[in-house]
């Protein structure tokens, strides 16, 4: 039975500001899940804390709205426990690359098979518009009393440096393209990172919908040129096609160089994709084969009468005097 978009809507009241870019991302996720016909009860959306992190409440799969900055380790625990579940992580840029930067970097080292979507609005929405790590040095959004005194982080570059094996960027008002990216990210075997440009009309008057649409960016004929473009359409191929280390290195470097493009011509699409890296699940199974065949969440641990199923007599034997 095919999943309909409406099957993925919940009864929870959505209290995002009118015009918030979060709506587009929510729609794209729901469209992707519907198109993939996922089993909602085998899917979980895990988030941190922030405006964007309220998103699980609006999607009718399992939803875990966690702590500020901790979406990744919560999701990691869920995926480790139940590797057969579809795990999607979402959260804000402050959540993911401010307070959560340590997890962002170190989870890149694991290559767990999940998708992480950052709502990149360059501000801390829910706490009233302070600068997020993606806001450029000297930028002054309407929420800031004076220009930002921190340099910004480039999420794509940081993801590449951290070892994500699928790295992409989408735009919250290009819902169809975003939906396609989400599907690719979910299908990717390994850790996928999707940075989504998300206008926050309430606090960020710089990276606005109008800005991305090309306001003030006119061609010779005075026509607005949108500030985003699709890399793939421009001939870019981020996919690693063989596990030859030289090819891998080339593609990594290409993605890093590509990540420098930002502003008047901001690339959307897949910067990098490498299906040849073992997942963390594979690696655990290398050490303990039953991790694959009988993963934690699938294991019975006791008989109906409560007798434990684990037999530790071999462990006790080692301790015999």
Ligand X SMILES: Cc1ncc(C[n+]2csc(CCOP(=O)(O)OP(=O)(O)O)c2C)c(N)n1
Q: Which residues of the chain form contacts with ligand SF4 (CB under 6 A)?
A: 16-17, 20, 22, 51, 121, 125, 200-203
Could you say which of Mg ion, another protein, ligand X, none residue 95 binds, taking C-beta under 5 to 8 angstroms by partner kind?
A: ligand X
CB of 250 to ligand X, least distance (A): 31
Q: What is the C-alpha separation between 160 and 254, in angstroms, rounded?
A: 11
Could you say which of ligand SF4, another protein, a copy of itself, none residue 62 binds, taking C-beta under 5 to 8 angstroms by partner kind?
A: another protein
- Which of the ranges 54-62, 118-126, 230-238, 280-288 carries the binding residues for Mg ion, by CB under 5 A? 118-126
In the bound state with a copy of itself, the residue whose beta carbon lies nearer, of 164 and 173, is 164
Reading the block at residue 75, the tokens are 């999701």
Residues 6+ apart with CB under 8 A from 239: 251, 270, 273, 274
CB of 236 to another protein, least distance (A): 32
Residues 6+ apart with CB under 8 A from 243: 276
CA atoms lying within 13 Å on the CB side of residue 78: 24
**Candidate residues 33, 51, 175, 231; the one interacting with another protein per rule CB under 8 A:** 51
Q: E strands within 204-281? A: 228-230, 266-273
Chain residues in the site for ligand X (CB under 6 A)? 49-52, 68, 91-95, 119, 121, 123-127, 132
Q: What is the C-alpha separation between 69 and 67, in angstroms, rounded?
A: 6
The footprint of Mg ion on residues 36-95 (CB under 5 A) is 92-94
Give the CA distances from residue 290 to residues 207, 281, 287, in Å, rounded to whole numbers and listed in that order. 49, 11, 9
Q: Which residues lie near a copy of itself (CB under 8 A)?
A: 97-106, 108-111, 133, 146, 149-154, 157-158, 160-163, 249, 252-253, 256-257, 260, 277, 280, 283-284, 286-287
């Amino acid at each position: 039975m095919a999943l309909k978009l409406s099957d993925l809507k919940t009864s929870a009241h959505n209290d995002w500001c009118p015009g918030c870019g979060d709506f587009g991302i929510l729609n794209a996720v729901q469209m992707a899940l519907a198109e993939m016909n996922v089993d909602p009860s085998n899917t979980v959306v895990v988030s941190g804390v922030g405006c964007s992190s309220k998103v699980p409440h609006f999607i009718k799969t399992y939803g875990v709205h966690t702590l500020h900055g901790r979406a990744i380790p919560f999701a990691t625990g869920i995926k480790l426990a139940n590797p057969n579940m579809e795990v999607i992580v979402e959260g804000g840029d402050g959540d993911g690359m401010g307070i959560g930067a340590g997890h962002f970097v170190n989870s890149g080292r694991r290559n767990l098979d999940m998708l992480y979507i950052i709502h990149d609005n360059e501000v801390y929405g829910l706490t009233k518009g302070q600068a997020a790590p993606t806001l450029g040095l000297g930028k002054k959004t309407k929420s800031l009393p004076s220009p930002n005194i921190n340099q910004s982080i480039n999420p794509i570059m940081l993801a590449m440096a951290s070892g994500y094996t699928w790295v992409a960027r989408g735009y919250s008002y290009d819902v169809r393209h975003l939906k396609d990216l989400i599907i690719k990210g979910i299908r990717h075997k390994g850790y996928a990172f999707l940075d989504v440009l998300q206008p926050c009309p309430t606090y960020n008057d710089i990276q606005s919908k109008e800005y991305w649409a090309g306001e003030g960016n006119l061609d010779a004929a005075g026509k607005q040129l949108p500030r985003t473009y699709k890399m793939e359409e421009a001939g870019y191929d981020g996919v690693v096609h063989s596990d030859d280390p030289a090819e891998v290195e080339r593609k990594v470097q290409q993605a890093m160089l590509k990540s420098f493009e930002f502003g008047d011509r901001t690339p959307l699409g897949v910067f990098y994709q490498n299906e040849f890296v073992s997942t963390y699940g594979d690696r655990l199974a290398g050490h303990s084969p039953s991790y694959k065949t009988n993963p934690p969440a699938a294991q019975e641990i006791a008989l109906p009468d409560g007798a434990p199923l684990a037999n530790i007599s071999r462990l006790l034997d080692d301790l015999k005097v």
